Amino acid sequence: MDAWARLATARVARFATVTPDGRPTVVPVCFAIAGDTIFHAVDHKPKATRALARLRNLRADPRAAVLADHYDDEDWSALWWVRADGTADILEDAPGALELLVARYPQYAAHPPQGPVIALHVDRIVGWEAS
């Protein structure tokens, strides 16, 4: 299995961080890949606050992970998952990452993300597939 190639086919992933008291927190994200870095951004979708928990968590502990998977109710031979572990940076200015996100998601063309970009620098990627 080529874990990077599988990950690149996913349209959404889950981004996991650790709270200061050690609890895991997971949120769905749109993402783009460049080399061994996975980017996602705080975008225009409705949120209760721009001071997101994932940003607070990363400031306290930069360890994070991205998980993407494919599930098919009817064909379990097509199941797969990929998890990328690493450390993340919060980037206030990342035009190249924003360009990648806009290119990958047509919805961002009209409303590009305005919030910070999170760059997960992957140091381990693992995966599984049924076939």
CA angle 37/94/54 to nearest 5° reads: 65
pLDDT per residue as tens digits for the range 61-105: 999 999 999 988 788 898 999 999 999 999 999 999 999 999 999
E strands, 7-116, in order: 13-18, 24-29, 32-34, 37-41, 63-70, 80-91
Strands of 24-29's sheet, edge to edge?
Answer: 24-29, 13-18, 63-70, 80-91, 117-129, 37-41, 32-34
Q: Per-residue confidence at 114, pLDDT binned at 50, 70, 90?
A: confident
Beta pairing class for 32-34 and 117-129: unpaired
Number of domains in the chain: 1
Tell me how far apart the alpha carbons of residues 33 and 125 are, in angstroms, rounded to a whole number.
Answer: 13
Can you give the residue range of the structural domain that contains 112? 3-129
46 pLDDT above the threshold of 80 = no
pLDDT of residue 49: 59
45 pLDDT above the threshold of 80 = no
Q: Per-residue confidence at 52, pLDDT binned at 50, 70, 90?
A: confident
- pTM reported for the whole predicted model: 0.92
CATH assignment at residue 55: 2.30.110.10
Q: Are 52 and 126 in contact (CB under 8 A)?
A: no
